[in-house]
Amino acid sequence: MNQALEDAKNRMEKAVKNLKEEFSHLRTSRASLALLEGIKVDCYGTKMAIPQIATVNIIEGKTIVIQPWDASLVKEIEKAIQKSDLGINPTSDGKTIKLVMPPLTEERRKELVKIANKLAEEARIAIRNIRRDVLEKFKAAKKKGEISEDDYTQLEKKVQKLTDDYIKKVDTVLKDKEKEILSV
């Protein structure tokens, strides 16, 4: 039964990790390399992520500078950024591309907070589903006589505590992201 608890803990940890990954793709007024990871560029007949074909740096927290290893890719990178949902127009001098993060409007901030809340709720649901799955395993074991009623009650309490802890982690991650989105 400890294996089932450990498995549940690992799965809940993954749910929180996935939430953090999703949050890294939400654009705030601060520059982040994670914003570029989902943007694919037509390059030598295949689609590649910008960090795979260029040096990417952040200057003063508000500007992303992209320097392609092959200068002929500048136009392709610009096109890919414009097609993406970043909402930023790149500027280029023919060798490097700059993305200046514009300040977010109040309306856009509220929209991003709603998206963040939705993603957090999905993570909470995933954690509750994991709780349900593991409790069903324990009920089946109790039915078969593999564990006693007292053991079942103890395991149920442990699973609930684990669930509560991971829901708190989701809430903390959400609170931090909201603070980041709403900060000017």
Q: Tens digit of pLDDT for each residue in 20-54?
A: 988 877 766 677 777 777 788 888 888 888 888 88
Confidence (pLDDT) at 128: 96
Instruction: Check whether 131 has a pLDDT greater than 80.
Output: yes
Q: What is the pTM assigned to this prediction?
A: 0.71
Confidence (pLDDT) at 114: 92
Closest CA to 28 of 110, 104, 115, 117: 104
Distance of CA 146 to the CA centre of its chain: 39
Closest CA to 48 of 22, 66, 27, 23: 66
Which residues, 6+ apart, have CB-to-CB distance to 181 below 8 Å? Answer: 26, 28, 104, 109, 112, 113, 116
pLDDT tens-place string over residues 159-173: 999 999 999 999 999
pLDDT tens-place string over residues 66-125: 999 888 888 888 888 888 777 778 888 888 999 888 777 888 888 889 999 999 999 999
Which residue type, as a one-letter code, is found at position 175?
K
Domains and CATH numbers, the chain: 1-25+105-182 (1.10.132.20), 33-100 (3.30.1360.40)
